[in-house]
């Protein structure tokens, strides 16, 4: 078995999907322990088979193509396992996108009506009906006019 990468990760880690293989190295020793509800499809917890570290994991394959990992304390991991009480760090997709927007580079979409953009805009509105077009534009790293078109789609 490979050594784990847990010791080299910060408490809040961003791991790009694909590319240099870092994601494969990080996830080689992680096993999913709990999946959140289907409504929060991006959120799950994992445990390292090598060192036993628990992680809160969020994935965004739509806009920023990143995994976001938060190191969990034993009590946080137990809260998830025993009571389905999840840390709030990644509880909304808006929070995930805000992390991506702040800490990584977005993709440039050639198709302004890309399904990834449409679905994400829809999810943002479902989560927070009062979200503005400007906020959607910022989270998706697109022009406000493009976000307005997505809201009408």
pTM of the model: 0.92
16 membership: H or E segment, kind and range: strand 12-16
pLDDT number for residue 24: 96
106-152: per-residue pLDDT in tens?
778 888 889 999 999 999 999 999 999 999 999 999 999 999 999 87
Q: How confident is the model at residue 2 (pLDDT cuts 50, 70, 90)?
A: low
- pLDDT at residue 107 in the model: 78
């Amino acid at each position: 078995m490979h050594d784990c990468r847990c010791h080299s990760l910060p408490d809040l880690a961003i791991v790009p999907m694909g590319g240099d293989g870092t994601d494969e190295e990080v996830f080689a020793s992680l096993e999913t322990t709990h999946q959140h509800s289907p409504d929060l499809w991006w959120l799950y917890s994992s445990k390292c088979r090598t060192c036993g570290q628990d992680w809160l994991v969020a994935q965004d394959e739509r806009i920023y193509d990143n995994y976001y990992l938060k190191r969990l304390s034993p009590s946080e991991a137990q809260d998830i396992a025993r009571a389905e009480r999840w840390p709030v760090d990644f509880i909304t997709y808006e929070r995930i996108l805000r992390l991506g927007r702040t800490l990584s580079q977005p993709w440039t979409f050639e198709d302004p009506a890309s399904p990834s953009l449409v679905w994400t805009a829809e999810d943002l509105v479902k989560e927070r009906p009062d979200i503005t077009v400007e906020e959607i534009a910022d989270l998706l790293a697109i022009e406000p006019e493009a976000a307005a078109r997505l809201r009408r789609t």
